[in-house]
Structure 1
Amino acid sequence: MRQSRIAACMSSFLLAAACTVTGAASAQATPRTAATGYVALGDSYSSGVGTGSYLNSSAGCLRSARAYPALWAAAHAPSSFSFTACNGARTSDVLAKQLGPLGTRTGLVSITVGGSDSGFGDVMTTCVLRGNTACQSVVAEARSYMDRTLPHDLDRLYTAIRSKAAAAHVVVLGYPRLYRLKGTCVAGLPEAARSAVNDAVDNLNSVIAKRAADHGFTFADVAPAFSGHEICSGSPWLRSVNWLAPVESYHPTVLGQSEGYLPVFSGTA
């Protein structure tokens, strides 16, 4: 009889323990199960600068319904969509101003950032206006920043993203090469300057990819998608200098967003 009571007590104990473990597992799974919201962070390549059409509510951020985050959200209908990417954003801007929507219900995050930190706007202005020697010099300065300072800035931002959205799948997208070498352009930057700019983009992508991998994020390389569609190609998906709207210079066009960035993001999201 005493053994029967012991056996019954043990059975009850094991059942209670099993229920406790199951309950805990369910509690842990709940946030992930509910994490179906999408948050789009980043700079002008994510906000949609270059598409020529911007949302009235985006003010100086120049967000566009033609940008890849908005196109993806329209096609997949996530439970929520927060579009905080902003023209000119650096890693510090994303950290200070864009992470508010992240939370336990965030299941997907996309981001492009690092180009503004590295001074690509100044690089292209210098290369266009001051000639090859000045261009090569400013490109070298940008590459030095990428190698020495940007990794730390990315680490700080990526750590904050993971802290705020523990259940999220984070896709870090890179940047396309700007120029088709030996292409159709008959004016503009000399070939050596175009090559230097492309090499700097490759270096930037390499730095970003390494930091993304170290944080368990997915790096999405868009350079192959833009191959054959760079400036100086027969069908560019990137704007060259736009004197009427300078801010759009060296950014993806509507096709650059819909045929370049969107398929790459969709394949990794």
Structure 2
Amino acid sequence: MPDTTGAAGLTVGQVAARLDVTVRALHHWDEIGLARPSLRTAGGYRLYTAADLERLHRVVVYREIGLGLDRIRAVLDDPAVDVPAALRAQRAQVTARVERLQRLGTGLDRMIDAHERGVLLSVEQQAEIFGPAWDPEGPAKARARYGDTTQWRQYAERAATRSLEEWRAVTDATNALDGDLASAMDAGVAPGTPEADALVDRHRAVFAAYFPLSREMQVVLARTYESDPGFAAHYDGIRPGLAAWFRRAVDASARAHGVDPDAATWR
């Protein structure tokens, strides 16, 4: 570093501005003997020479790469310290930190993508997992409708980390539940019976792959299954009347747990 301090040296404020550190940091380094100014004014104010600035510059660089102040002191002053080895060790730590941050960045990209797209699968993968009747525009439509809700955020957070095989497992669990619901209705299982209640509880557990579902929310959702043309077509396509049977099963289970289906809200 060229000597541009002049004969009088630089003040603490000037050094702080030049090295982009705080005056408080310079005072602290002086107090602990890490980087002391060589000069003082008649009034006792610190003045830094070119040699002081050179040492400070090294302190700043070493601190920037993550060395602690005690380690910096040893690197600067202890002749027994193997400086290249110390720096290589620090380099390894920096590399590991960079890799961790890159992984974090990738995760954030997926999180952003999931919030915007919902399902992080290609159109071909969606058709393979969800079946040929799946509408690849469905997640975009859902985001337009529910994107400002807590449940969409929870759904996106789960989707961001879900692999192709995990999506397959979720879909298999959902399909198996749909089949068991249909079988129960075919067998004449009545809403409110232990068997029906077990299926209602299983529905909440399977649905948790998307977001947590309270009993009140389940009542609202089952009502939607019956009233919404798209949902009703899906369930009644499995078995005619399945959407209505499942709503009654959910209502009966809700009542058994102290929830009035007529007053249930999305909460």
Q: TM-score, normalised by structure 1?
A: 0.35
Larger Rg: 2
Q: Higher strand proportion, which one?
A: 1
Q: Higher helix proportion, which one?
A: 2
Where relative contact order (Cα < 8 A, 6+ residues apart) is larger, the structure is: 1
